[in-house]
């Protein structure tokens, strides 16, 4: 039994939930999102909460049960509060700045990197060494943050590069004489 899947997802006031067949739509103050639940799972809206149940007890249905419930919970949180990921830049001369609708990254290469910001995502640089990625879709926020981090991931010797805020970088000792 899925411990996550058993819990119904409460829909707070200010958020409108609509379940039509296998499609769950959420509308809130931040925007509107929808998720198509897999056919092995049944979803219904009653008593101010969205509940998810497997159609049968196959391994596939039970696997998708908790996942579908988590996706619906992410919709509710996204349209009411939104999501954000913070990135930190470490290194001499490494910096980030907004250039119109693009993020300009100086990460020690011979050229600056221009990252086009996708629709539905907001990027802010409060400091030259800090990037805040925010939006209503959890998956897209995480994907954009991962793409930015990928340009220059943190290296283990000096810790230079782009890392998530709070991420632990395993440090290695340098060469000995």
Instruction: Report domain extents, the chain.
Output: 3-80, 83-164
Q: Which CATH class is domain 3-80?
A: alpha beta
Round to whole Å and give the CA distance between 16 and 45.
11
Among all chains, which residue has been given the structure tokens 């899925």? 2
**Span 83-164 CATH architecture:** Alpha-Beta Complex (3.90)
Q: What is the pTM of this model?
A: 0.88
pLDDT at 126 exceeding the cut of 80: yes
pLDDT at 177 exceeding the cut of 90: no
The 10s digit of each residue's pLDDT in 155-169 is 999 989 999 999 999
The pLDDT of residue 92 is: 93
The pLDDT of residue 127 is: 94
The mean pLDDT of 122-139, rounded to a whole number, is 95
The 10s digit of each residue's pLDDT in 79-92 is 999 999 999 999 99
Sign (positive/negative) of CA torsion 73, 74, 78, 81?
positive
Domain 3-80 identical in fold to domain 83-164: yes
């Amino acid at each position: 039994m899925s411990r996550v899947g058993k819990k119904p997802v409460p829909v707070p006031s200010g958020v409108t939930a609509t379940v039509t067949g296998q499609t769950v739509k959420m509308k809130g103050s931040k925007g509107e999102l929808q998720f198509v639940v897999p056919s092995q799972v049944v979803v219904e809206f009653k008593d101010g909460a969205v509940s998810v149940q497997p159609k049968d007890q196959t391994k596939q249905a039970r696997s998708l049960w908790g996942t579908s419930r988590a996706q619906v919970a992410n919709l509710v949180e996204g349209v009411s509060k939104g999501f954000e990921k913070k990135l930190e830049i470490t290194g001499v001369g490494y910096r980030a700045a907004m250039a119109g609708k693009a993020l300009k990254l100086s990460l020690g290469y011979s050229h600056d990197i221009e990252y086009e910001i996708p629709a539905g995502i907001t990027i802010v640089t409060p400091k030259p060494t800090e990037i805040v990625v925010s939006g209503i879709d959890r998956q897209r926020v995480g994907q954009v943050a991962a793409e930015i981090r990928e340009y220059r991931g943190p290296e283990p010797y000096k810790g230079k590069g782009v890392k998530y805020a709070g991420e632990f970088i395993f440090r290695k000792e340098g060469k000995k004489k």
